[in-house]
């Protein structure tokens, strides 16, 4: 599978659902891969993506986008962004909050999984993250 392959988009109902009661450690790969970014970059990327973003988990200073399974393998390098997927030699788990945890700063859904939100298109996410990395927060604040 490569990033250009047709995949389930963020408007499709999820075949996987978050835990109901407590935070669970979920193995990355079977249902989705993740892209991890510092929250400062992640918030700028979210603003650029708008409604095109799928589900996002946040935990203090980090954000995790759910992306199609297998796409982390093709991500490549990007400053401060880490692709986590089943393609590595080690098994990776991500803490996943219950659907009701939608406020932080602890582990919560920044953008919850829902009928209209699941996976983020990796090409759109790459472009948004690249722009977010290139954006100087000080310049952004003076432009407002």
Backbone dihedral region of 31: left (phi > 0), alpha (psi from -120 to 50 degrees) or beta?
Answer: alpha
The pLDDT value recorded for residue 6 is 40
Q: What is the pTM of this model?
A: 0.84
Q: Using one digit for the tens of pLDDT, what is the confidence trace for 26-59?
A: 999 999 999 999 999 999 999 999 999 999 999 9
Q: Is the dihedral of CA 23, 66, 2, 9 positive or negative?
A: positive
The pLDDT value recorded for residue 98 is 95
With a CB cutoff of 8 Å and minimum separation 6, the contacts of 116 are 10, 11
The pLDDT value recorded for residue 143 is 52
The pLDDT value recorded for residue 10 is 56
DSSP symbol at 110: E
């Amino acid at each position: 599978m490569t990033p250009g392959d047709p995949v389930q988009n963020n408007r499709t109902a999820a075949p996987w659902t978050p835990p109901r009661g407590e935070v669970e450690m979920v193995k990355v790969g079977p249902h989705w891969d993740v892209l991890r970014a510092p929250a400062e970059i992640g918030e700028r990327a979210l603003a650029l993506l708008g409604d095109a973003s799928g589900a996002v988990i946040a935990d203090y200073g980090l954000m995790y986008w759910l992306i199609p399974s297998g796409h982390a393998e093709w991500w490549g390098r990007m400053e401060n962004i880490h692709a986590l997927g089943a393609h590595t030699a080690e098994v990776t788990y991500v803490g996943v909050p219950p659907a009701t945890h939608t406020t932080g700063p602890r582990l919560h859904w920044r953008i919850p999984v829902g009928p209209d939100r699941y996976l983020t298109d990796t090409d759109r996410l790459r472009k948004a993250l690249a722009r977010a990395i290139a954006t100087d927060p000080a310049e952004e604040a003076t432009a407002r």
